[in-house]
């Protein structure tokens, strides 16, 4: 017999008590343990989050103020120049947070809580968070009173909608000096420049930090912005740049808040010809009713430089920008949120243009955002529709694809001179749609008395579209009509013209009367 085994047998009386108490003890321990666990696992509190290192060497930081009630989460995510109200759910150690005012299907933040630390992702960027201390708080930025309103003199630019290229849609943060130079080369060699695309625009993520005198420098990706501007100018092109009226840009880089005149002068000294000014973090300082005076501040600053700089307002159509954009010498203003390379996004952006139509005209244009043509997630028919609609609505034509590697089809869409002529027509009228079943018809009067008419097939199969002369308000019978995609003249018979239009495709005609 094994003595150890024998000695392991407890005395009978003890054994009886333990056996009875065991279930209660286990339950008690279980309750205590899960209470402790629940406490340890609660996301309630202030968390200091550190994200990726930006191209200017700064690390992205945020504070998560969270409250957990069961599986429900509420709170805010704040940084220097941004604050997002969030709500979401926790499931065990995992949680997801969505912007309260955003309609996104994808969570804004996801994470896991373990050992009192969070590891997670903001969109696709990783971050870590630990309980915050007072040292993690962001400084309170001084409030600058919005100036009294006045009219900023028109800068004389953009008599027709601006045309060019912008880095954001395809390159986002991966834009640098070399990309811009090679893109400028390609603008010339591909024929884009000859087709009218003149502006080469650097979007967000070029920014460095401010020097001791407060002058904003570019980050390492742009070693010499003036030399880059000289290079772009030597190609007969113009250079655009990006900033925000808030302390930070949308991608978290330093922006023009409190440095408006200084930055405008920097841009002018570099030889910049175009500024996209993106509201973004300004919402953390100003109320949105300050949109007009705050955009005026930069309008004045650009005017004071004496350099002609196209002024692009990017505030997603808030505060009826179309009614006052021209007053601040804005040459174009975004009327929508960001476009995506998808049919629904493209159509939704263009349809949001409808109420703004009366406000487009030479010098000042509604901007449904940049082009996605050639970026690969729409069909060629959809891209032809995209180009046709932007032209019918006199929208700025800012290509967002890689000009250096365009396919022949993409070239034929972006550089269709007959379609570009509709966009660039000197009358500057913006078409509006009339819906009839699956067809949407847009008619744009042109300076020579002719009209452009586009019929979009919103349906999922090819269908016969008809253009009725009476709907064109030509003041006479059509004498000439031309299909702007097939580049062929066509004939109106009995005051109408019909053609098959593929799903999501367009019939685009220019029609003349006597
Ligand atoms: C906003 C703008 C975009 C782009 C990004 C850059 O989302 O609407 O067009 O400029 O910021 O961060």
CA-to-CA separations, 489 to 29, 465, 479, 485, in angstroms, rounded = 86, 17, 11, 11
30-70 pLDDT, tens per residue?
Answer: 444 444 444 457 999 999 999 999 999 999 999 999 999 99
Is the CB of 275 within 6 Å of ligand 1? Answer: no
479-492 pLDDT, tens per residue?
Answer: 999 999 999 999 99
* Residue 62: alpha-carbon gap to chain centroid: 21
Q: Which atom of ligand 1 is nearest to the CA of 172?
A: 6
Q: What angle do CA 134, 40, 53 make, to 5 degrees?
A: 50
Q: Residues 462, 502: contact at Cβ < 8 Å? A: yes
Kindly calculate the radius of gyration of the chain based on its CA atoms and give it in whole angstroms.
Answer: 29
Q: Residues 65, 46: contact at Cβ < 8 Å? A: yes
**Residues present in the chain in total:** 514
Q: How far is 316 from 484, CA to CA, in rounded Å? A: 31
Phi then psi dihedrals of residue 349, to 5 deg: -65, -40
Q: What angle do CA 422, 423, 428 make, to 5 degrees?
A: 95
Nearest to 356 by CA among 382, 384, 326, 386: 326
Is the CB of 203 within 6 Å of ligand 1? Answer: yes
Nearest to 385 by CA among 433, 427, 426: 433
Is the CB of 314 within 6 Å of ligand 1? Answer: yes
254: confidence class by pLDDT, cuts 50, 70, 90: very high
Q: How far is 334 from 224, CA to CA, in rounded Å? A: 29
CA-to-CA separations, 134 to 48, 79, 137, 138, 409, in angstroms, rounded = 10, 14, 6, 9, 57
pLDDT at 31: 47
Contacts of 140 (CB under 8 A, 6+ apart): none
Of 108, 172, 203, best ligand 1 pocket probe by most atoms within 8 Å of the beta carbon: 203
- Mean pLDDT computed over 146-175: 97
Instruction: Indicate the angle between helix axes 260-270 and 291-305, nearest 10 degrees.
Output: 40
From atom 3 of ligand 1, which residue's Cα is the shortest distance away?
338
For residue 263, count CB atoms less than 10 angstroms from its CB and return exposed for 0-12, middle for 13-18, buried for 19 or more.
buried
Phi then psi dihedrals of residue 392, to 5 deg: -65, -30
Counting residues of the chain whose pLDDT is more than 90, the rounded percentage is: 86
- Mean pLDDT computed over 315-325: 97
Is the CB of 65 within 6 Å of ligand 1? Answer: no
Q: Residues 430, 360: contact at Cβ < 8 Å? A: yes
Question: Is residue 161 over pLDDT 70?
Answer: yes
Higher pLDDT among residues 231 and 104, named by residue: 231
pLDDT at 114: 95
Mean pLDDT of the chain: 92
pLDDT at 8: 35
- Mean pLDDT computed over 271-285: 95
pLDDT at 80: 84
Is residue 311 within a helix (H) or strand (E), and if so which, with residue range? strand 310-314
2: confidence class by pLDDT, cuts 50, 70, 90: very low
25: confidence class by pLDDT, cuts 50, 70, 90: low
pLDDT at 140: 84
Of 173, 278, 318, best ligand 1 pocket probe by most atoms within 8 Å of the beta carbon: 278
- Mean pLDDT computed over 180-194: 98
Question: Is residue 313 over pLDDT 60?
Answer: yes
Is the CB of 338 within 6 Å of ligand 1? Answer: yes
Q: Which atom of ligand 1 is nearest to the CA of 370?
A: 9
Q: Residues 217, 241: contact at Cβ < 8 Å? A: no
24: confidence class by pLDDT, cuts 50, 70, 90: low
378: confidence class by pLDDT, cuts 50, 70, 90: very high
Pairing of strands 478-483, 397-399: unpaired
Q: How far is 494 from 153, CA to CA, in rounded Å? A: 50
Return the DSSP state at 322.
H
Is the CB of 315 within 6 Å of ligand 1? Answer: no
Is the CB of 204 within 6 Å of ligand 1? Answer: yes
Phi then psi dihedrals of residue 63, to 5 deg: -115, 130
287: confidence class by pLDDT, cuts 50, 70, 90: confident
83: confidence class by pLDDT, cuts 50, 70, 90: confident
Q: Residues 470, 477: contact at Cβ < 8 Å? A: no
pLDDT at 289: 79
From atom 5 of ligand 1, which residue's Cα is the shortest distance away?
250
CA-to-CA separations, 220 to 178, 207, 274, 310, in angstroms, rounded = 12, 9, 22, 26
17: confidence class by pLDDT, cuts 50, 70, 90: very low
How many CB atoms are located within 10 Å of the residue 398 CB? 27
Question: Is residue 250 over pLDDT 60?
Answer: yes
Is the CB of 251 within 6 Å of ligand 1? Answer: yes
Beta bridge partners of 439: 436, 457
Q: What angle do CA 177, 182, 183 make, to 5 degrees?
A: 95
Q: Which atom of ligand 1 is nearest to the CA of 337?
A: 8
57 three-class SS: coil
Q: Which atom of ligand 1 is nearest to the CA of 316?
A: 8
Return the minimum-mean-pLDDT range out of 21-25, 85-89, 271-275. Answer: 21-25
From atom 9 of ligand 1, which residue's Cα is the shortest distance away?
338
pTM for the predicted model, two decimal places: 0.90
Q: Which atom of ligand 1 is nearest to the CA of 251?
A: 12
Nearest to 272 by CA among 313, 315, 243, 314: 243
């Amino acid at each position: 017999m094994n003595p150890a085994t024998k000695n392991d047998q407890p005395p009978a009386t003890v054994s009886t008590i333990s056996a009875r108490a065991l279930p209660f003890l286990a339950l008690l321990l279980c309750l205590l343990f899960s209470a402790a666990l629940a406490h340890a696992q609660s996301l309630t509190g202030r968390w200091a989050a550190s994200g990726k290192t930006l191209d200017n060497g700064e690390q992205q930081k945020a504070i998560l103020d969270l409250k957990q009630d069961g599986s429900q989460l509420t709170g805010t995510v704040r940084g220097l120049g941004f604050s997002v109200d969030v709500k979401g759910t926790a499931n065990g150690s995992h949680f997801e947070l969505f912007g309260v005012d955003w309609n996104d299907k994808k969570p804004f933040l996801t994470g896991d809580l373990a050992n009192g630390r969070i590891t997670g992702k903001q969109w696709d960027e990783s971050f870590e968070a630990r309980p915050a201390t007072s040292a993690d708080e962001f400084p309170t930025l001084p409030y600058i009173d919005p100036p009294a309103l006045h009219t900023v003199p028109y800068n004389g630019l953009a008599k027709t909608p601006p045309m060019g290229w912008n880095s954001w849609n395809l390159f986002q943060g991966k834009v640098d000096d070399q990309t811009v130079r090679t893109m400028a080369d390609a603008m010339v060699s591909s024929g884009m420049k000859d087709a009218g695309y003149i502006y080469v625009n650097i979007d967000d993520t070029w920014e460095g930090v401010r020097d001791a005198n407060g002058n904003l420098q570019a980050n390492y990706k742009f070693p010499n912005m003036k030399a880059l501007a000289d290079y772009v100018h030597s190609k007969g092109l113009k250079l655009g740049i990006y900033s925000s009226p808030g302390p930070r840009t949308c991608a978290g880089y330093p922006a023009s808040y409190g440095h408006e005149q200084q930055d405008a002068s920097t841009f002018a000294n570099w030889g910049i010809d175009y500024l996209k000014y993106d509201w973004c973090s300004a919402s953390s300082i100003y109320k949105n009713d300050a949109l007009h005076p705050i955009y005026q501040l930069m309008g004045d600053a650009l005017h004071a430089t004496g350099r002609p700089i196209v002024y692009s307002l990017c505030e997603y159509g808030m505060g009826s920008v179309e009614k006052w954009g021209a007053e601040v010498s804005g040459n174009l203003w975004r009327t929508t949120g960001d476009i995506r390379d998808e049919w629904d996004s493209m159509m939704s952006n263009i349809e949001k243009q409808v109420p703004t139509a009366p406000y487009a005209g030479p010098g000042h244009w509604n901007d449904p955002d940049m082009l996605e043509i050639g970026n690969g997630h729409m069909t060629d028919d959809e891209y032809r529709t995209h180009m046709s609609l932007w032209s019918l609505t006199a929208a700025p034509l800012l290509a967002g694809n890689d000009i250096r590697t365009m396919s022949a089809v993409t070239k034929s869409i972006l550089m269709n001179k007959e379609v570009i002529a509709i966009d660039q027509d000197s009358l500057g009228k913006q078409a509006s749609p009339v819906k009839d079943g699956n067809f949407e018809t847009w008619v744009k009067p042109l300076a020579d008395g002719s009209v452009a008419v586009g019929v979009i097939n919103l349906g999922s199969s090819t269908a016969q579209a008809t253009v009725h002369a009476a709907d064109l308000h030509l003041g006479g019978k059509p004498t000439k009509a031309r299909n702007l995609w097939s580049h062929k003249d066509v004939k109106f018979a009995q005051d109408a013209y019909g053609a098959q239009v593929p799903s999501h495709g367009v019939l685009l005609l220019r029609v003349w009367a006597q």
